[in-house]
Structure 1
Amino acid sequence: MTTTVPTAAQLAEVADLARRVREQLHTVLSGLDDAVDATLATILAEGHLLLEDVPGVGKTTLARALGRALDTTVGRIQFTPDLLPSDVTGVSVFRGDEHRFEFRPGPVFANIVVADEINRASPKTQAALLESMQEKAVTVDGETRPLPSPFLVVATQNPIDMEGTYPLPEAQRDRFMTRIAVGYPSPGDEIAMLDAHDGHDPLAEVRPVATAADLERAIATVRGIYASPAVKQYLVDVVRGTRGSADLRLGASPRSSLQLLAAAKARAAMAGRDHVLPDDVKALAAPVLAHRVIPAAQARAAGRSAEAVIHDILARVAVPAARAPEALSRG
């Protein structure tokens, strides 16, 4: 498939969109620059985002603020143990007066779907999102219905050792382009949060700064970002490093390579560049790869996380910029 080389004006539009959305998110959450940038890169790469951390650190707030900052349709699903698949996708209801079935779409029929605490629902209900995330369509009663474009799932989940959680299966984790840990704020950021939330809800002040059409144009521009053979080889070396690591029982899949490249292109466009740098790959390697790999028993016993293993791999893989800086950009 051929892609159009983005112009300077198109790159400036993407960078400006990212800046506007970033500013709106920072009115609600302070000190989460890395998480916000990875979130924006995921959205612009047309991927799905998984926010994972302990309760109360701002996962749902970040997801809701993103939905408000983008002037798109937003569907919100609160996952609970008794949630049914039809509560996600929709259901056909018989209209007795017209002697026909009428389909009533579920909250998944939206541009942005906020799936809150996704791992509190049963695996059967979790699986209801699989087709929509991969195929951007939903099949109900034998009829396939397309979802609106763009279509993005922003899910939150608590760590699997928390009470009342069901671990997401590998197949569903792999549908998420990135997994981001929000983390605890610094003391200064926590004080700023107390001031921002004192007496009012800062979410009410978040205003839409980009439409669905703006987002679609930005996504199209991101697709045209150039990645040189040297950068692609570096990316593949990093992914293949997960497959040969003694600390990992399962390495990253080829889908991981595709999604890491897409996210790196989005990060480059956010910076106003028409080409990917190794730094783009390094910045997003852990968010894109960590949830797709499985640490080996000895790594878990030593308390080593998947993120730590990936950072070790990044430290070992040779960076192409050190060998041929001119080979990273067009021409």
Structure 2
Amino acid sequence: MAAEQFQALHAYLNSQVIGQPEFTEGLLIAILADGHLLVEGPPGLAKTRAVNALATGIEGSFHRVQFTPDLLPADLTGTDIYRAETGSFEFQQGPLFHNIILADEINRAPAKVQSALLEAMAERQITVGQTTYKLPPLFMVLATQNPLEQEGTYPLPEAQLDRFLMQLNLDYPNAAVERDILRLTRGEELEGQASMPSPVTQADIFAARREVLEIYMDDSVEEYLVQLIIATRTPDFYSADLARWLSYGASPRATIALDRCARARAWLNQRDFVTPDDIHYVFAHVLRHRIILSYQAEADGIDADTVLSKIIELVPAP
């Protein structure tokens, strides 16, 4: 039953966000793998629209926060409010107590705000004063950042980047998709457009997550997954080019994320086992924000996706 609901939700997302199938699938993989998602792309590519569509398709509360340089930690976590009638302080919850948080232009907030968000993402709790508050069991941060304009931005620290399950990079659509977008915004019906399904309940989401963890992964496929991660840490074993391009590899958290995302992708495709293709599909999304390239790679015009494609090419698949 949960699989059918997610299939219907996927079809609805694709009808609302035209021409971004990897993005919509990535949203569902993040939900199923219980992780946070970082989305990078130019303005106007329906990042906010997609998150709004996802929020309407699942049972839970949604809140959008526009990150700005003057944002304070209390604007996210909440704060203690003095009640004169009782002479006591009462905690007023902030946006982080919702189920889905859209952190728009996350890299525009200063370090103190990022620190508060990091605690929420990592520990599923926030601390105000001397008191710690637990966040809802269903809690997901969907963060966006614009790669074009860097003025007034604060680069996200590696520790926070590592907390994101995946980073999805969006690009402009082609001409045919652009025409469909025009028709959609004019309110015209598109061929095969899906109607909004019944919201997926939180109980169904947790049940689906348990099913994802039970997806079968053969020992040879699991060994292949681990070797892909190890290749980011020992690039000189595979290629002199890789050794020149990579400064730091991925952490064990990347191994866990890759495992969960590959299982979630197999589940979404209605299979009860993981294939190397599932790993390949999510590999760049899971790793591109976790590896650190050398100055030599930047000088050579090499980006993270090129390095990760090279690793896929060099590490033998089962």
**TM superposition score normalised by structure 2:** 0.91
> Does 1:223 find its partner at 2:230?
no
SS in 2 for 1:77: strand
SS in 1 for 2:126: strand
Q: CA RMSD in A?
A: 1.7
SS in 1 for 2:65: strand
Q: In the aligned structure 1, how far is the partner of 2:125 from the partner of 2:271?
A: 33
Which range is displaced more, 158-167 or 170-179? 158-167
Q: In the aligned structure 1, how far is the partner of 2:126 from the partner of 2:149?
A: 31
TM-fit CA distance, 1:176:
0.2
2:173 alignment counterpart: 185
> Does 1:35 find its partner at 2:23?
yes
Partner of residue 252 from structure 1, selected from 242, 250, 254: 250
Partner of residue 119 from structure 2, selected from 131, 136, 155: 131
The size of the alignment, in residue pairs, is 305
Is the alpha carbon distance of 1:15 and 1:282 closer, same or farther for their aligned partners in structure 2, counting shifts above 3 Å?
Answer: same
Amino acid paired to 1:74: F
SS in 2 for 1:177: strand
Contact 2:8 2:197 in 1 (8 A): no
TM-fit CA distance, 1:196:
0.5
Contact 1:15 1:271 in 2 (8 A): no
User: Can you list the C-alpha shifts for 1:125-164, whole angstroms capped at 9, x where unaligned?
Assistant: 1221111111111111211111111111111111275322
Which range is displaced more, 22-31 or 205-214? 205-214
Partner of residue 200 from structure 2, selected from 207, 210, 214: 210
SS in 1 for 2:48: helix
User: Can you list the C-alpha shifts for 1:38-91, whole angstroms capped at 9, x where unaligned?
Assistant: 221111000100011122222222222211221211122111111100000110
Partner of residue 309 from structure 1, selected from 301, 307, 310: 307
Amino acid paired to 1:82: D
1:10 alignment counterpart: none
Partner of residue 66 from structure 1, selected from 27, 46, 54: 54
Partner of residue 294 from structure 2, selected from 290, 293, 296: 296
Q: In the aligned structure 2, how far is the partner of 1:23 from the partner of 1:209?
A: 13
Q: In the aligned structure 2, how far is the partner of 1:143 from the partner of 1:24?
A: 41
> Does 1:279 find its partner at 2:267?
no
Amino acid paired to 1:109: F
Q: In the aligned structure 2, how far is the partner of 1:290 from the partner of 1:214?
A: 30
Runs of 4+ in 1 over 2 A off after TM superposition: 160-164, 205-209
- Correspondence 1:49-64 to 2 at 5 A: 49-64=37-52
TM-fit CA distance, 1:208:
5.1
